Amino acid sequence: MAVARPAFIDEVRQSEQFNASACMNCGVCTAICPMGLEHLPREIFRYVVLGMEDEVLKEQETVFSCLLCKLCEENCPAGVHIAENVRSLRHYFDRKAFRI
Amino acid sequence: MPLPTGDTIGILADNLRLRRSVLPIPTESAIRWTRGLDLPRGGERVLYTGLMYQLIPYIEELVKAESRLAESWLSGFTGIGRQVNKLVNVSGFMAHPTREQLETYDRIPRNVALLLKRAGVAFGALYEDDLYSGALAYDLGADETLREHAQKVYATLKRHGVKEAVTIDPHTTNMLRSVYPTLIEDYDLEVRNYLEVLSGLDLAPSRQLEGDVAIHDSCVFARYEGVLHEPRQLLEGLGLTLREPLHAGTMTWCCGGPVESLFPEKAAEQAGRRVTELNAVAERGVTMCPLCYVNLQKAANGRMRFDDISDYLIRGYEP
Ligand code: SF4
Ligand code: SF4
């Protein structure tokens, strides 16, 4: 069973720009992503919001496969700062998983 | 098989911290483009390359070496690979570009310098102090390393009395104009891309060019920096017919370059998809970023030809 840790979102949050919780899960990003990233942004953002750290740690390859191209962000109806949120997730991986 | 993500990021971040570039290159290669241009050192306005074009031949060679490296002693002891790199510049042993590769990428900053001179813009250069912006470290989330590096770059610009940096590629433009102000207090550098500078001047072309060209907008220019009409205005001013692919302007598709350092195969697949879109509208393509140029050119594999926008501009605006 997944373990939820509410403080997790604060560890991922790098700046006030981080707004994963603004995502309303509409699926535009998934439909439009040229890389066909199915879990990013919306599913992984939801794991962050729910504090499901283990689920996020399983998604390392997806998090680093994003082009930060902002095509999804340009079309997101909720104004989610997708690229900045992904960068925050990378920073979290750098510290937590890679010890950089 | 790509190198492990953590070690790759570690090596790139260590290089930036210890050697002022994610991929250190010889000084000679960094400044060769300035030869014969007689540019003053420093001054209020400089042409700032951020080494982006000069780095590409070395990146190309490293990507080739990466598949070999994945089987080597270095990846067998991945953690050790990073430790070794702290002492000696590992990438320096692996990347040996040819003279032809070096000339291709020296030509582009030279084109830009000649275009600015032709337009009557006064500027200098920073030579060996023209430092990499840290764009890749930013993308990979190595924020502490980037913050430290950005301070070094800004201090160097200030030491040379620079008030305005004229940039060439989209990534350096974005870092200096939009990212650094979030990292450095009281940041007051003015930053313009050379396409913005040239399009703001009333330049009369010296000759007209003909034909259809597919325009590939860089995502960083189109969606981060709002550079969209300038390249179109300049190219159309030369008489070229611009063909817009299915994904263009603010809806442009990425070339795949941003994931090249970690997942070269994924980068190549995206570049291939993009080439197909561009090739559907023209036989020739124009790019504005060294990463787009190298990735699309490679993926095209002779299917279509790509040129940097400065190669067109120099033909049309040079006497
Ligand atoms: S487009 Fe925006 S709101 Fe919709 S799922 Fe993606 S991130 Fe969430
Ligand atoms: S930034 Fe680009 S690559 Fe990343 S999820 Fe959005 S559309 Fe996909």
* Residue range B84-122, pLDDT digits in tens: 555 555 555 556 778 888 888 999 999 999 999 999 999
The answer on pLDDT for B313 being more than 50 is: yes
Q: What is the number of domains present in chain A?
A: 1
The answer on pLDDT for A16 being more than 80 is: yes
Q: Which residue in the set B7, B252, B259 is minimally distant from A65, CB to CB?
A: B259
Residue A26 lies inside a defined structural domain of this protein: yes
| 8 Å CB contact of B5 and A98 | yes
Residue A4 lies inside a defined structural domain of this protein: no
Residue A17 lies inside a defined structural domain of this protein: no
Q: Which residue in the set B141, B223, B270 is minimally distant from A94, CB to CB?
A: B141
CB neighbours of B165 closer than 8 A, spacing ≥ 6? B45, B46, B48, B157, B176, B189, B190, B191, B192
pLDDT at A97: 81
Mutate to test the pocket of ligand 1, among A19, A26, A40, A43 (most ligand atoms within 8 A of CB): A26
Q: How many whole angstroms separate alpha carbon B33 and alpha carbon B37?
A: 8
The answer on pLDDT for B1 being more than 50 is: no
A58 lines ligand 2 (CB under 6 A): no
Residue type for B244, please? E
Paired residues of B285 in beta bridges: B214, B306
Q: Which residue in the set A60, A88, A94 is minimally distant from B142, CB to CB?
A: A94
Residue A15 lies inside a defined structural domain of this protein: no
Residue A91 lies inside a defined structural domain of this protein: yes
* Residue range A42-67, pLDDT digits in tens: 899 999 999 999 999 999 999 999 99
Backbone angles phi, psi at B53, to 5 degrees: -75, -40
Preceding peptide of A34 cis, ω within 30° = no
Q: The tokens of B71 are what?
A: 């089987």
**What is the A66 CA–ligand 2 centroid distance (Å)?**
5
Query: Pick from B312, B318, B313, B274: which is nearest to B292 by CA?
Result: B274
Give me the helices (H) in chain A, please.
8-12, 28-32, 42-50, 53-57, 60-65, 71-75, 82-96
Q: In a 3-state reduction of DSSP, which class is residue B12?
A: helix
Distance from CA of B274 to the nearest CA of A (A): 9
pLDDT at B89: 58
Query: Pick from B55, B62, B69, B56: which is nearest to B25 by CA?
Result: B55
B246 CB neighbour count, 10 Å cutoff: 12
Q: The tokens of B223 are what?
A: 């969606």
Chain A partners within 8 Å of B138 (Cβ): 87
Query: Which residues contact ligand 1 via a Cβ below 6 A?
Result: A 23-29, 41-42, 72, 76-78, 80, 82
Residue A87 lies inside a defined structural domain of this protein: yes
The answer on pLDDT for B240 being more than 60 is: yes
Q: The tokens of B105 are what?
A: 């990428």
In angstroms, the Cα distances linking B159 to B44, B133, B152, B199 are 11, 17, 10, 30
Q: The tokens of B8 are what?
A: 């790759």
pLDDT at A40: 84
Residue A48 lies inside a defined structural domain of this protein: yes
Chain B partners within 8 Å of A88 (Cβ): 141
Residue A88 lies inside a defined structural domain of this protein: yes
Higher model confidence: residue B1 or residue B120? B120
Question: Which domain covers residue A66, as residue numbers?
Answer: 22-96
| 8 Å CB contact of B141 and A70 | no
The 10 Å CB-count burial string (b at 16+, else e) for B219-236 is bbbbbbbebbebbbebbe
Q: How many whole angstroms separate alpha carbon B144 and alpha carbon B129?
A: 22
- Average the pLDDT over each of A10-14, B87-91, B158-162, B232-236 and give the range with the smallest value: B87-91
In angstroms, the Cα distances linking B202 to B118, B238, B311 are 12, 13, 19
| 8 Å CB contact of A92 and B253 | no
Q: The tokens of B189 are what?
A: 């550098």
| 8 Å CB contact of B143 and A68 | no
Lateral strand order in the sheet of B284-287: B241-243, B212-215, B284-287, B305-308
The answer on pLDDT for B56 being more than 50 is: yes
Domains located in chain B, CATH noted: 5-198 (no CATH), 205-317 (3.40.50)
A97 lines ligand 2 (CB under 6 A): no
